[in-house]
Structure 1
C-alpha cells in the first residue's frame, strides 16, 4: 500500500488523536514500527525540535510527510516513490475536514487515539489517494508545483542523532547541578559568609593591636 499509516496529533503536548483504520495486511509487522516512529516525530515537533510547518523525513524506503496547521499535526507514512505533491494534497484534505470540528472537543481529549470520529474520515479521504492514476489525482500532480518549494527534507537518522545529543547534554547538565548539592545550600552559604566575617574581624583586631 502506498499510504501505510496516518497520524493526527496535537502539537501542544504531542498527543496522537487519531490514526484512521488499519491500512495494510495484518501480517505486515512494519506498521507498529511506523507508528512508534511517527509518535517520536510528533513529540519532536511538540518540543520544537522540528519547527517547520511542512517536512518530509526519509527512512529506508519510506518517508514521513507532515504539515502543521492551527496546532494540529497531520502526518502520513508512505512509500518513498509515492508522489510528495499528492501526499500533501491528502494532508490538506484531512486538515480541511478536521477544522470542521469544534476545537473545544479536541482540546478535551486526554487518551491517545481516542478521537475515533475522525478515523472514518481518514479512511474515506485516503481511499481517494490510493490510486495515483485517477483523473483527480493526475490533475493534482499536473497542477502548479510551487507548493513543494517550502517543504524541507531530512533523514530520520539525523533527527534521532540530534535527540540523543540533546538528551546527553541534558543529563550532563543535571549531573553537574546535582553532583554536590551541599554547595547549593543556603545554610552553607550563610555559614561561609559568617566565617569570612569572623576572619575579617580577627585580622582587623590584630592589626589594631600592632599599631
Structure 2
C-alpha cells in the first residue's frame, strides 16, 4: 500500500507548496486527515528533524530538510523506516527540481512565495516516486538496500574506530618512548652539571685540603 497523502510545506509558517493524494481502495483520505496534516505542518519547527505521529489507523510521518517539511500519511501497518526512506527520496527530487528551476536562489523563491501550492507542477515527479513504494517487492528491495547501506556505514565506522585505536596505540608508544628518553636526558644533564661543578671547584678543594694538612703538620704534629 503506497503513502496515501504527501505534502511539502515551508517550515517557517506551514504554507503548503506541493500536495498529492492517492487514496487506496477502502482507505480514503478524509477531510479530517487533511485538517490534521495542515495543523501538524503549522506546528512543525526546524528543531524537529523527523517524527512519526499516530492518529487512529493512520500515521503521519514528516522530515525537515533545508527549511522545507516533507510529510506523508500512511496506514499504521506501513513500515516507518520505509516512510522515511520515501520522504528522503521525495526530498531529493523536490530539491533537485528547485535547483534546476531557480538555481542557487531557490530559497529566496520559496521564502517569498505567498501563494499556496506554488510548486504544484512538481506533483507528477512525486506521484512517480509514490508508485515505486506501492509494489511490495519493490518495498522489500528498498528496505534491503537501505539496511545494506546502513550495515556498510556501520562497518566503515567500526573499521575507522579500530584504525584510530591502532594509531592511538602508536601515539601512546611514541609518547612513552619520548618520556623515557626525556628522563634519560634529565639524568644525563644532572650528571654533566655535577661533573662541571666538580671540575670548577676541585682545584679549590685540593688547595684547601693541602693548606689544612700543612697547618696540621706544623702546629699539631
- Mark yes or no: TM-score above 0.5: yes
1:3 partner SS? coil
Matches of 1:31 and 1:137 in 2, distance apart?
A: 29
Aligned to 1:163: none
Aligned to 1:132: 136
Moved more, 51-60 or 131-140: 131-140
Matches of 2:2 and 2:24 in 1, distance apart?
A: 13
1:99 partner SS? helix
Q: How does 1:48-197 map to 2 (within 5 A)?
A: 51-100=47-96, 101=98, 102=102, 103=106, 104-134=108-138, 136-140=141-145, 142-143=147-148, 144=150
Aligned to 1:180: none
Matches of 1:136 and 1:29 in 2, distance apart?
A: 27
| 1:5–1:78 CA contact under 8 A, matched in 2 | yes
1:41 partner SS? helix
2:4 partner SS? strand
Any unmatched runs of 5+ in structure 1? 148-211
| 1:67–1:91 CA contact under 8 A, matched in 2 | yes
| 1:5–1:31 CA contact under 8 A, matched in 2 | no
Shift of 1:29: 5.4
Shift of 1:70: 0.9
Does residue 44 of structure 1 match 2:43?
A: yes
1:109-138: CA deviations, max 9, x gaps?
322223112111110111111123226324
1:19-46: CA deviations, max 9, x gaps?
12x3116996543221111110010014
| 2:2–2:130 CA contact under 8 A, matched in 1 | no
Aligned to 1:174: none
Matches of 1:121 and 1:31 in 2, distance apart?
A: 23
Matches of 1:28 and 1:86 in 2, distance apart?
A: 19
1:7-26: CA deviations, max 9, x gaps?
10001121011112x31169
Any unmatched runs of 5+ in structure 2? 154-221
**With structure 2 as the length reference, what TM-score do the two structures score?**
0.57
Instruction: Decide which structure has the larger Cα Rg and report it.
Output: 2
Greater share of residues in helix: 2
Matches of 2:79 and 2:26 in 1, distance apart?
A: 26
Matches of 1:69 and 1:15 in 2, distance apart?
A: 15
Matches of 2:2 and 2:121 in 1, distance apart?
A: 24
Matches of 1:93 and 1:82 in 2, distance apart?
A: 17
**With structure 1 as the length reference, what TM-score do the two structures score?**
0.60
